[in-house]
Structure 1
């Protein structure tokens, strides 16, 4: 982040088919060559592939923080407490359980993660945060979240490794960490005060660490914008693997 003004097809248990015609009675028994009835061989069982009831890698405390009404969760798993590298997976909840999408490479803040983010600490705020609003320098690509198109999303300069930042904010999704949901990602309102930072987004990857945001490839950002739906109450579940496993 740049600190700106910031199915189971539960295979129904196999039915035991009884023979037609006048051979065996419909009792699950079959005749032998001597005319005696012996127990019929049991029908083969099929193991159903059941989706996990919880999201793999998330511990009880993290799972409990996901609202019951949430049906979409963007899980951002850092490679280490102090690592700027992460994996991003969109999970969808169905009646059968959570289904994971593809794993995407991403970046987070230069110094990794924290559970108590402060302005300028160069760490991303771990936790479960709702996703309410989107925007960008480029026009709306078909976002289901409210999209704020503005020249204010320009991103000049270079990143920590000298990589150009141009285009990083072509598309963004605001992470509801100390912000007012229902406003533009550019809104400066900080409910926790300026000391606790703000302006944390999901945005287009520029090839290096961020100041606090999470970034993924442009194509993945566009996919998130077209998929995340306010009716499914999406959230971002963020942190390094050890934090998320709590």
Structure 2
């Protein structure tokens, strides 16, 4: 599944000042005897408009990799470089900055993260990737993404901790890493070659680490599918916390 990294600078508007200053009148006026001299009208307070807020936990380099047109960012924050545990938060860009949704507990790959993912390394790829296509064993729960309903979304066997994998692919969103966007998540083309892995999805959590995917609870997958909107150009921003703060 192709991952398209898009390194477009995130434009942040400089703070704007509103209001205008006031002060003492410039022309001298004669003050009648016995009357106190008029005092200058105090200047009104000057308020600064808030700078649009960025996504918490993302440093300038990571933030700059989010395309300017992107209005939805699924941020996957790992606990550590070698940890399989992470948190997923959907952020929506508004006129005043990014607004965060609920934090969902999640799993990533067994051995953590890699900046040069290879097939079989049991690490999830670091980076910013577009989210273009969805699918699953179950029928479309109401997503606006193209949805491929197929019996091909099966995962037999057990996970790394002995947990059953059945139902893991009831709902999936393809992460555009080494895949052709605009195709079913089941499409196995690999533009970077098979050695660079692929088939990396957001999918239903089975209670343990993944091979390279990111997994969240079934109810949260349904929420995610109903939230993502191709007209808002969604991306996933994924990595362990220290890497994301670059």
Q: TM exceeds 0.5?
A: yes
Instruction: Give the whole-Å Cα distance in 2 for the aligned partners of 1:38 and 1:226.
Output: 61
**2:113: which partner in 1?**
113
Q: Give yes or no for contact 1:51–1:99 (8 Å, CA) kept in 2.
A: no
**2:26: which partner in 1?**
none
How far does residue 35 in structure 1 lie from its aligned partner after superposition? 7.8
Q: Does 1:172 align with 2:172?
A: yes
Report matched runs for 1:41-52 at 5 Å. 52=53
Label 1:65 to 1:47 Cα distance change in 2 as closer, same or farther (>3 A): closer
**1:125: which partner in 2?**
125
Instruction: Give the whole-Å Cα distance in 1 for the aligned partners of 2:177 and 2:230.
Output: 17
Report matched runs for 1:29-40 at 5 Å. 38=39
Report matched runs for 1:21-36 at 5 Å. none
* Structure 2, unpaired ranges of 5+: 1-16, 21-34
Instruction: Give the whole-Å Cα distance in 2 for the aligned partners of 1:46 and 1:68.
Output: 27
**1:234: which partner in 2?**
234
**2:197: which partner in 1?**
197
Moved segments of 4+, more than 3 Å: 12-15, 34-51
Label 1:220 to 1:14 Cα distance change in 2 as closer, same or farther (>3 A): farther
**1:83: which partner in 2?**
83
* Structure 1, unpaired ranges of 5+: 1-11, 16-33
What TM-score do the two structures reach when normalised by structure 1? 0.82
**1:224: which partner in 2?**
224
Query: Secondary structure in 1 aligned to 2:198?
Result: coil
**1:26: which partner in 2?**
none
Q: Give yes or no for contact 2:201–2:214 (8 Å, CA) kept in 1.
A: yes
Label 1:50 to 1:120 Cα distance change in 2 as closer, same or farther (>3 A): same
How far does residue 58 in structure 1 lie from its aligned partner after superposition? 1.1
Instruction: Give the whole-Å Cα distance in 2 for the aligned partners of 1:67 and 1:44.
Output: 37
**2:64: which partner in 1?**
64
Instruction: Give the whole-Å Cα distance in 1 for the aligned partners of 2:46 and 2:191.
Output: 56
How far does residue 232 in structure 1 lie from its aligned partner after superposition? 0.7
**1:144: which partner in 2?**
144
Instruction: Give the whole-Å Cα distance in 1 for the aligned partners of 2:207 and 2:240.
Output: 20
**1:103: which partner in 2?**
103
What TM-score do the two structures reach when normalised by structure 2? 0.82
RMSD after superposition: 2.7
Label 1:160 to 1:93 Cα distance change in 2 as closer, same or farther (>3 A): same
Moved more, 73-82 or 60-69: 60-69
Q: Give yes or no for contact 1:128–1:236 (8 Å, CA) kept in 2.
A: yes
Instruction: Give the whole-Å Cα distance in 2 for the aligned partners of 1:125 and 1:44.
Output: 49
Instruction: Give the whole-Å Cα distance in 1 for the aligned partners of 2:223 and 2:142.
Output: 9
Instruction: Give the whole-Å Cα distance in 1 for the aligned partners of 2:61 and 2:51.
Output: 23
Corresponding pairs, count: 224
